[in-house]
Amino acid sequence: MGNKVVTFTHEQLDNYQDCTFFNKKEILKVFKKFRNLAPELIPLEMTTPESVKIRMPKDRIVKLPELIENPFAERVCESFSKDGYGNLNFEEFLDCLSIFSENCPRDLKIYYAFKIYDYDGDDFISESDLRQVLKDLTKNELTNDEHQKITEKIIEEGDIDNDGKLSFLEFETVLKRSPDFINTFHIRI
Amino acid sequence: MSGGKEKKSSRSSKAQGWEEAGSEFYQESYPGDQMDNIHRDPSKLATLLPSKQRVATNRRGRQAQEFKTTRRRNSTLTATRTFRRGSHYQEIQVATLPDLSENLINESQTWEEIREIKAMPVHMAQKRELKNQLQNATKLRLQGFEQIKWKRRKAWQKIMTKWSEYLTKMELWRSSLKTIEGNFGTGVVAYFVFLRWLMVLNLLIFTIIFMFIILPQLVLIEPKDLPCDPNAPPVFDEKRSTANESIWIYANTSVQCCRETYLNEIKHNRSEFSILHLFQGTGFMEKTFLFYGMYTHQIYGYDPLANQQQQSYGSNSYNEGTSFMSNRNLDNFIVDENNSTNNNSTPFMNALLNFSDNNNITTTDLTNFTTWREFFSKLDIYYDLPLAYIIVTIVCYLYILVSIVKAVAHEFKDRLVEGEGQFYQYCNLIFCGWDFSLHNQKSAQIKHKALFNEIQGLMHIKRYEFERNNRTRDIMFKLILIRVLINILVFIILIVCAAVIFILFNISLSVIEPNFETVTRYRSFNVFMGQIKKFSSGTSELDQQFKILFYEFLPYLCIVIFNLLVPILFNYLIQFEQYSPLFVIKMNLFRTIGLRLSSLAVLISRFYYLISAKNENSNTECFNESYGTPMCWETFIGQQFYKLFIIDFATHILVTFFVNFPRAMIARHMNNAFARFIEMDFELSKHVLDVVYSQTICWLGTFYAPFLPAIAAVLIFFMFYIKKFACLVNSKPSTILYRASRSNSLFMIILLLSFSISIIPVVYAIAEIMPSRSCGPFRGLNSVWERAINAFEKLPKLLQDIIFFFGTSSFAIPCFIVLILFLYYYYSVSAANKHMVQVLKNQLVLEGHDKQFLLNRLSLFIKQQQEYQKRIQRQFYDQASTTTNSQQSQGINMDTIPPPLLPRAPRSETGSNDRSERSSIEIKHHSRMSKDIGDI
């Protein structure tokens, strides 16, 4: 036991525990996942502030088994990364999986879901965003006409103030009523 | 209620926020340098929209909410709250000076805030920073009781985190669930979670039973019963005798003698060990505590023999076991016998366990006892096992009921919220359609396909509806005819199944129980049965045994085979009925439940027929031998359910590994139409039914075989792996989208249904059917419930009166009225809430219109402004050349700017009235402003 490399200090773990929905055990598990993506990049010892800041490139994170088949994987990375390019450091990665964990409240999940679906980052889910979502969701199998029809329908359903796009509040109202959201927006670690 | 209020208040505060934001928008945006921005780019207006003003809005809202937010303790966050929290942080960033320094908060509040950091939608670095800030901020120290309270909560939280850590380590099947979820999505994994839940439930039930029934029976020494004395005079049975006829119990049918006959029977006839007995529950198994029959009717620590000597030999002596329970006050006996000093009459529950401090057992004495049994026998413990048996049964069933209802209620709550969600079909499908947990390529492809299908289906649903509405009369008539015919057919199939099971059961009984043949009612069968008997009377011993085994299992095999085959037939039939796909699943499920429950019902009615037969010579026989009633029918029924349970499990193994597995293998390695035909989906509803069915059997049999929940728990444990195999290896992901929310409520509703059905026969048996005289804790009583009534009669008078009062109309009627009043109250509250929601919705829509309108006006106005300025500039250049006309041209310009239109007439809704008025004022104000600008 004495020879074991200390990955995180106690303080770090405490901090992470306070800032995420994971317990210590799960945090270490997440770290293992993170490190497995690129063992040559990430040191075993994460106690120094520099090591925490190392960013994992997006194309590596997308290879995570939990994300590899996810059509929104790139969006997920981009939503959680601070640099906007989708490269995540460990803390952001931890944040990301914490949001997808079971204990995370619905409102927080909705907040990030909005970010994920908001492709162009203009704080609205507009028609172009919806088209993109549909394309990713069905692997581009729908015709242009159908795209048009569905986006219209969605905006018709969710748009309360008739501005032709969904604001966060509108998105929130829709998803709060959705029974499946909490189940599907979930990644078991 | 508080939740509702909270929501309402948050709603209204949001509405206020909007208004505030609106007014702020007009106040702040005009004067100042933002004006220039707007002039340069009208699209920048979007940044001033109310929805964009969240930060500003929340800053205001927060001041009012501050008090409330910090006060609330629970970590379950309401939506607005998280949102506020999130913006709260943004606010800190914006204002650089945190509010925290302004009003000092105490330690407990800081701690709460730190705990809520995790729910903020900001990056980890910021969260950490905030945590540091909070930790280092000056704060008030809590004092006295508050301090203790906070400390306690903190400690509790710590324990909870430790516990959750421990749980994650211990969580059963975590990796299995992950694999299944990765391959089949959340809908299917919900089924496996449900399996786990059932297993834990069974284990809990068994723990209760083990603690209070099995353990005492194992540990305590059963007091010696009175000896069987066949020569004693008959006893008058007070309970069963009526005014017209008096029933006498003869010595050879006394409880003790019947017991001895029964014990002799199982000792001589059924003692040899055979592996077959393991599956049948007969032979040596019958003598174990597995079944009802071996539990004692004695009260531990109470010796009827000693008691008998104290009493004068009365006429009741033979029936002691029965009569002392029913007629005498047991407690007084116990107290007298022990010469105990504490003469307080022990009430109901204490009667179960009564430690007497009279017998002083020192530690030195302890070493003298060689076994625990001896130790317990020296300790004066009174344990009324029959009473415990009843109470434990009631507690167990209540516990099951509560846990199912709790789960159903949870689902139901979600359903209610979802009820409004039916307007969001498309949103639901698009935003919640993807299962983020999927990580298998093949299933991801299937998911893509399924979503595509669903979307198309949703788009075409309108067309289907149109088609359905426009069916011609002929087609309609034909369809209805087909449906009616098929329903009749289904009904006939069900009846045929039931009849076949009934007949097979008779046959099997006639082979096993030789007495059964003499039953006159089945004479018509007798010829047939005689032939069977001839056939079954094999030559060798082993042959004979196997034949008996075969007949014994025949009805159950039949039930299981029906359960396998008939649903396929139903599946085929339903094609012709042309229901909508969702309804097909429900209809099929409903019919299959009908099949399974009807077969169980036949079984139970057959049992009932066997045991409830009126015995004309009940005073000379222990059991109705001529009718084929088993000696100890409770054990018999326990055995039957045990058998059914085992065989049900065995078929799951057989079908999964020896039928479906080869099928899947063939399908995988062949690539033609045949392969596609035999390939299997993972049909969730079918698998759910499998589990619910075996659970129903368990519930039916628990009373007669107390070990059944344990067996069920173990078998469900293995069932998990069987189903996992069936899911991962045998089937491919289903093209039907299983929604976790939907399937969860489905499981629970089916479970509740079968529970409520399975409890009926159990309750009936407890309340009405006479227990057999030769075995079990209730031998000699008229019904099981009689024991509970006897215990009730021993309660203090006051308590009895109180409980009686609950049963009278003087209590029931006021109670009923109060309940109705409450019902009405809640109904009107919900109606009012609904109305409120409607009003607010309308208001929101109107707000949207208003905003739209104002924005249009505004952009128009800005365009005019720009044009005007251009013109001014042009004029300015013109002026440079000709200075004389400047005054005139400005005057003309003023006239060319049309005054902005007034907004549309105020709407009828009260909510919008003052809004539009206000906006019209605003507009007027702007038009004045524009004039002012123009003047300049």
Q: Which tens digits make up the pLDDT trace of A142-165?
A: 778 888 888 888 888 777 777 788
Q: Which positions in chain B touch A32 (Cβ < 8 Å)? A: none
Query: Which residue do the tokens 């048009």 mark?
Result: A148
Query: Which residue do the tokens 């509702």 mark?
Result: B4
pLDDT reading at B637 higher than 70:
yes
pLDDT reading at B201 higher than 90:
yes
pLDDT reading at B204 higher than 90:
yes
Q: Decide if B436 and A100 are in contact by the 8 Å CB cutoff.
A: yes
Band the pLDDT of B449: cuts 50, 70, 90: confident
pLDDT reading at B356 higher than 50:
no
pLDDT value, residue B739: 66
Q: How many C-beta neighbours within 10 Å does residue B95 have?
A: 10
Q: Which residues contact A73 (CB under 8 A, 6 or more apart)?
A: A61, A62, A64, A67
Backbone angles phi, psi at A55, to 5 degrees: -100, 140
Mean pLDDT of B579-604: 81
Tell me A45's DSSP state.
Answer: -
B718: left (phi over 0), alpha (psi -120 to 50) or beta: alpha
Q: Which tens digits make up the pLDDT trace of B434-443?
A: 878 777 777 7
pLDDT value, residue A76: 85
Q: Which positions in chain B touch A162 (Cβ < 8 Å)? A: 845, 848-849, 852
Q: Chain B within 8 Å of A22 (Cβ-Cβ)?
A: no
- Rounded CA-CA distance B201/B645 in Å is 17
Q: Which tens digits make up the pLDDT trace of B140-188?
A: 777 778 788 888 888 888 888 888 777 777 777 878 887 887 777 777 8
pLDDT reading at B568 higher than 70:
yes
Task: Tell me which residue in B174, B448, B455 faces A139 most closely, judged by beta carbons.
Answer: B448
The residue with greater pLDDT, B599 or B737, is: B599
Q: Which tens digits make up the pLDDT trace of A81-94?
A: 877 777 888 888 88
pLDDT over 70, % of chain B: 60
Evaluate whether B57 touches B18 at the Cβ level (below 8 Å). Answer: yes
- Domains located in chain A, CATH noted: 10-99 (1.10.238.10), 106-184 (1.10.238.10)
pLDDT over 90, % of chain B: 8
The residue with greater pLDDT, B818 or A121, is: B818
- Rounded CA-CA distance B213/B341 in Å is 30
Mean pLDDT of B70-97: 41
Mean pLDDT of B233-257: 61
Q: Which of A20-24, B522-526, B539-543, B862-866 has the lowest mean pLDDT?
A: B522-526
Q: Which positions in chain A touch B119 (Cβ < 8 Å)? A: 105, 107-108
pLDDT reading at B819 higher than 90:
yes
- The rounded mean pLDDT for chain B is 70
pLDDT reading at B7 higher than 50:
no
The residue with greater pLDDT, B105 or B885, is: B105
Q: Which tens digits make up the pLDDT trace of A121-138?
A: 888 888 888 888 888 887
The residue with greater pLDDT, B752 or B8, is: B752
Query: pTM of this prediction?
Result: 0.68
- Rounded CA-CA distance B391/B212 in Å is 9
pLDDT reading at A22 higher than 50:
yes
Q: Which positions in chain A touch B851 (Cβ < 8 Å)? A: 161, 163
Band the pLDDT of A5: cuts 50, 70, 90: low
Q: Chain B within 8 Å of A62 (Cβ-Cβ)?
A: no
Q: Which positions in chain B touch A111 (Cβ < 8 Å)? A: 82-83, 86, 121
Nearest to A90 by CA among A136, A125, A41, A156: A41
Band the pLDDT of B98: cuts 50, 70, 90: very low
pLDDT value, residue A23: 82
Highest mean pLDDT (candidates A73-82, B276-285, B912-921): A73-82
Task: Tell me which residue in B78, B431, B451 faces A138 most closely, judged by beta carbons.
Answer: B451
pLDDT reading at A3 higher than 50:
no
Q: How many C-beta neighbours within 10 Å does residue B538 have?
A: 13
- Rounded CA-CA distance B243/B241 in Å is 7
Mean pLDDT of B711-735: 86
Q: Which tens digits make up the pLDDT trace of B496-546?
A: 988 888 888 778 777 766 555 444 344 444 455 555 555 545 455 667 777
Q: Which tens digits make up the pLDDT trace of B647-692?
A: 888 888 988 888 888 888 888 777 776 766 667 777 787 888 888 8
pLDDT reading at B822 higher than 90:
yes
> How many angstroms separate the CA of residue A40 from the nearest CA in chain B?
24
Q: Which positions in chain B touch A153 (Cβ < 8 Å)? A: 426
In our burial notation (b when 16+ CB lie closer than 10 A, e otherwise), range B801-837 reads eeeeeeeeeeeeeeeeeeeeeeeeeeeeeeeeeeeee
Q: Decide if B123 and A167 are in contact by the 8 Å CB cutoff.
A: no
- Rounded CA-CA distance A26/A6 in Å is 16
Q: How many CB pairs under 8 A join A and B?
A: 211
The residue with greater pLDDT, B775 or B28, is: B775
Nearest to B493 by CA among B373, B573, B586: B573
Q: Which tens digits make up the pLDDT trace of B796-806?
A: 888 888 888 88
pLDDT reading at B336 higher than 80:
no
Evaluate whether B505 touches B603 at the Cβ level (below 8 Å). Answer: yes
> How many angstroms separate the CA of residue A181 from the nearest CA in chain B?
5
pLDDT value, residue B547: 75
Q: Which positions in chain B touch A107 (Cβ < 8 Å)? A: 77-79, 81-83, 119
> How many angstroms separate the CA of residue B415 from the nearest CA in chain A?
7
pLDDT reading at B28 higher than 60:
no
Q: Which of A30, A108, A126, A149 to mutate to test the interface with B (most CBs of B within 10 A)?
A: A108
Chain B residue with minimum CA distance to A70: B436
The residue with greater pLDDT, B604 or B371, is: B604
Q: Which positions in chain B touch A180 (Cβ < 8 Å)? A: 428, 432, 739-741
Q: Decide if A178 and B432 are in contact by the 8 Å CB cutoff.
A: yes
pLDDT value, residue B263: 75
Highest mean pLDDT (candidates B243-247, B599-603, B614-618): B599-603
